[in-house]
């Protein structure tokens, strides 16, 4: 379990979660930047490795969500410190074409601390999501990132 988790910012456009992981930075980095390891804790089966500028697709492996196609576009990779991608938040209706909607930016920032590694997860850009689904996407992803912070902690601290 993470030693601390905070939610330092509250806004309608941005979600931020900060967690101290009791694991070395290189272990946390691999869990975030290696598509196979990312898929294990994030609960998605990804078909390709991550590379900046590349779209990566896969399937959600969470029970009752296995029918959902997962797609992300890798934006930036700075080894050991920063990884980001864009996606369509809360894109769970298979009958809806989300491709014309703006994406949000998900960022993972790592910093070494005495206890291990501080991981800051930020997702921003919700104010550009269509109003008809913005609040639900924000609420769902805010809860989702709380859960994912626990998932990565369990993964890297084992």
State how far the Cα of 57 lies from the Cα of 69, in Å rounded to an integer: 7
What pLDDT, in 10s, does the model give residues 43-67?
999 989 999 999 999 999 999 989 8
pLDDT computed for residue 36 by the predictor:
97
**Nearest one of 14, 1, 12 to 120, comparing CA atoms:** 14
SS3 153: helix
Tokens encoding 43: 């609960």
Averaged pLDDT of the chain = 93
Q: For the residues 10-37, what does the mean pLDDT come to? A: 95
Q: For the residues 7-28, what does the mean pLDDT come to? A: 88
Tokens encoding 28: 């946390």
- pTM value is 0.92
pLDDT computed for residue 1 by the predictor:
46
Give Cα separations from 29 to 34, 101, 118, 127, 134 (angstroms): 8, 30, 11, 29, 30
Sheet with 44-46: strands ordered across: 4-6, 14-21, 116-124, 104-113, 82-87, 69-78, 55-60, 44-46
The DSSP output letter for 101 is S
Q: For the residues 18-35, what does the mean pLDDT come to? A: 98
What pLDDT, in 10s, does the model give residues 94-147?
889 999 999 999 999 999 999 999 999 999 999 999 999 999 999 999 999 999
pLDDT computed for residue 94 by the predictor:
85
131 touches 12 (CB < 8 A)? no
Residue whose pair of structure tokens reads 């609040």 in the numeric block = 135
State how far the Cα of 96 lies from the Cα of 117, in Å rounded to an integer: 38
């Amino acid at each position: 379990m993470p030693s601390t988790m905070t939610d330092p910012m509250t806004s309608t456009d941005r979600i931020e979660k900060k967690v101290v992981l009791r694991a070395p930075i290189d272990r946390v980095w691999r869990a975030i930047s290696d598509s196979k390891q990312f898929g294990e804790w994030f609960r998605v089966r990804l078909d390709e490795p991550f590379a900046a500028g590349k779209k990566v697709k896969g399937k959600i492996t969470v029970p009752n969500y296995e029918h959902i196609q997962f797609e992300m576009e890798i934006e930036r990779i700075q080894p050991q410190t920063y990884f980001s991608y864009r996606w369509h938040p809360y894109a769970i209706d298979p009958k809806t074409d989300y491709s014309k909607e703006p994406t949000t930016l998900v960022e993972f920032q790592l910093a070494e601390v005495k206890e291990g590694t501080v991981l800051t997860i930020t997702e921003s850009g919700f104010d550009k999501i269509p109003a008809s689904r913005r609040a639900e996407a924000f609420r769902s992803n805010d809860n989702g990132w709380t859960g994912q912070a626990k998932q990565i902690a369990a993964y890297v601290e084992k």
